[in-house]
Amino acid sequence: MVEVPHLPDSVAPLFPDVLRESLVNLRRDLHEHPELSMREERTAGRLHAALEALKPAELHRVGAADGVTGLGLIARIRGRDSGVPPVAVLGDIDALPIQENTGLPFASRNAGVMHACGHDVHATWAVGAAHLLTAEPAAGDVIVVLQPAEETGSGALVILESGALDDAAAIFGAHVDRRFEIGQVVAEAGPLAAAADTFDIELIGAGAHGARPHESADPIVGTGALIGALQTIVSRRLNPAHPAVVTIGTIHAGSAHNIIPGSAKISGTLRAVDPDTRRFLHEELRRITESVAATYRLEAKVELGLGPPPIVNPQGAAGWAREAAISVLGAEAVVPLGTLNMGGEDFAHYMERIPGCFMRVGARERGGEPIPAHSPRFYAAEESIFVGAAVLAESARVASRALAQGA
């Protein structure tokens, strides 16, 4: 039996030893074999087997035309009353291109790939929720979704396009968060994640010998100026009361000490929690890039990629999630987010179509550090699997009960 320390008292009785061990083993196995977005073949196979063992009313794979090799999984857990519209709970399954440095005994065996965002735990708690909802069904059916490719912002659309959630009346998801201790949950109305758009910029000049810069139009110097100028969108142009982030994540140019290259590329991410700020970032990024390029006699190519919109939890579904978290963990466990989260979540795509609530689930062991997600040292404390599973299952039950009563 693997050891799972410190399960909150109210959660522990929900998980018999056999289930506890199988969920911990599942999580460790997923963590040890992380796969990048849209390459989650092994992960999807492992999760399919875990769900199949539960004999759900329906289980299928989505995202591929053959219905067999798709990386998304949909399991339908029967409720007590077929007249109640189904609700959905979701876990994402993909990993990141990061070399793990956690020192965990089940650290990644895939060089340069790591579960640095805790999706190993999210996948496992969705399976755990399927167990709990099989043991104690909701009023209506619950659709358990395992989603690939959250990190690239495309997986939610794969699930939605499959039609699997066309009849879902509510959806719940959550993210591990080491800023909060095990047993703490954020389940509240209002903004919970930011819009996460991408940009790719190429500055095209004229290459030349490094000794004769006057014969070039140097894209490296232009890019240097552009990097500085883009910092002024948030610091000088935007109203400081409106939160936003402009981050340049890659920069590439050149091939040798003495060659001025013909072009240079940068890419990055734009974050905002309201539509006007989001639009403003796009406009300013284009305006500044084009004017800096002109100053340095360069041509600018700007490509904006629309990522997920912000998540703003509506009152109704947030109330269901909050009621569920209180009933599972007690009122003192439900804590405020406290600060705006500028991370993006493609769960927002679901919430454009289905009312829902996205939660944060504490993943820091007592006395542990608040290691940020996407860091090579990030891991979620194992107990978070059980808190997440219990809160998601109960959220589905509370929502389903309210829908059954016509609330």
Q: How many residues bind Zn ion (CB under 5 A)?
A: 1
Closer to Zn ion by Cβ: residue 26 or 380: 380
* Helices of type H across 33-105: 41-52
Minimum separation from the CB atom of position 235 to Zn ion (A): 26
Minimum separation from the CB atom of position 374 to Zn ion (A): 6
* Helices of type H across 162-274: 219-232
CB 199 within 8 A of CB 246: no
Cβ-proximal residue to Zn ion, closest one: 117
Question: Which listed range, 41-49, 117-125, 238-246, 248-256, lies at the site for Zn ion (CB under 5 A)?
Answer: 117-125
CB 365 within 8 A of CB 383: yes
Closer to Zn ion by Cβ: residue 88 or 123: 123
CA atoms within 13 A on the CB side of 102: 28
Closer to Zn ion by Cβ: residue 56 or 310: 310
Residue 30 binds to Zn ion (criterion: CB under 5 A): no
Question: Which listed range, 75-83, 114-122, 272-280, 328-336, lies at the site for Zn ion (CB under 5 A)?
Answer: 114-122
CB 302 within 8 A of CB 201: yes
Residue 117 binds to Zn ion (criterion: CB under 5 A): yes
396 closest CA partner among 12, 81, 137 = 137
Closer to Zn ion by Cβ: residue 117 or 260: 117
Closer to Zn ion by Cβ: residue 117 or 165: 117
Minimum separation from the CB atom of position 97 to Zn ion (A): 11
CB 23 within 8 A of CB 15: yes
CA distance 346 to 309: 8
Question: Which listed range, 116-124, 131-139, 203-211, 394-402, lies at the site for Zn ion (CB under 5 A)?
Answer: 116-124
Minimum separation from the CB atom of position 371 to Zn ion (A): 13
104 closest CA partner among 83, 91, 120 = 120
Minimum separation from the CB atom of position 175 to Zn ion (A): 6
Question: Which listed range, 64-72, 113-121, 266-274, 392-400, lies at the site for Zn ion (CB under 5 A)?
Answer: 113-121
Closer to Zn ion by Cβ: residue 35 or 323: 35
CA distance 266 to 287: 16
What SS3 class is residue 28? helix
Closer to Zn ion by Cβ: residue 114 or 272: 114
Residues of this chain, 281-340, that bind Zn ion according to CB under 5 A: none
Beta-sheet pairing, 170-181 with 356-364: parallel
DSSP 194-220: -EEEEEEEEEE-B-EETT-GGGSB-HH
Question: Which listed range, 21-29, 110-118, 266-274, 300-308, lies at the site for Zn ion (CB under 5 A)?
Answer: 110-118
CB 155 within 8 A of CB 148: yes
Minimum separation from the CB atom of position 382 to Zn ion (A): 17
CA distance 280 to 271: 11
Minimum separation from the CB atom of position 163 to Zn ion (A): 25
> Which residues of this chain interact with Zn ion, rule CB under 5 A?
117
